[in-house]
Amino acid sequence: MAGEIFFEFALPDDPFLDQFSCGYETADNYFRSRKWFKADKGRSSPPTYVFRVGEDCPVVGYCAFDFGKQPHPDDASEAKARYLVIYMIGVDQAFRGTQNPLAPGETYAASIMAVLEDIARAKQSCVGLSLWVRSTNEVAMAFYRKVGFAEDPGGPSQRDEGDPILTMRKILT
Among 23, 101, 155, 164, which residue sits at the site for ligand COA (rule: CB under 6 A)?
23
**Partners of 50 in beta bridges:** 8, 62
| 133 touches ligand COA by CB under 6 A | yes
Among 29, 146, 150, 155, which residue sits at the site for ligand COA (rule: CB under 6 A)?
146
Among 89, 115, 129, 166, which residue sits at the site for ligand COA (rule: CB under 6 A)?
89
Residues 68-87 that bind ligand COA (CB under 6 A): none
| 97 touches ligand COA by CB under 6 A | yes
Q: What is the dihedral of CA 94, 96, 102, 103, to 10 degrees?
A: 180
| 104 touches ligand COA by CB under 6 A | no
Q: Where are the beta strands (DSSP E) in the chain?
A: 6-9, 37-38, 43-44, 48-52, 59-71, 80-91, 126-134, 150-151, 165-171
C-alpha radius of gyration, the chain, whole number: 16
Q: What share of the chain is helix, strand, coil (3-state, %, to 5)?
A: 25, 35, 40
User: What is d(CA 36, CA 64) in angstroms, rounded to the nearest whole number?
Assistant: 8
| 130 touches ligand COA by CB under 6 A | no
CB of 59 to ligand COA, least distance (A): 12
Among 109, 115, 127, 166, which residue sits at the site for ligand COA (rule: CB under 6 A)?
109
| 164 touches ligand COA by CB under 6 A | no
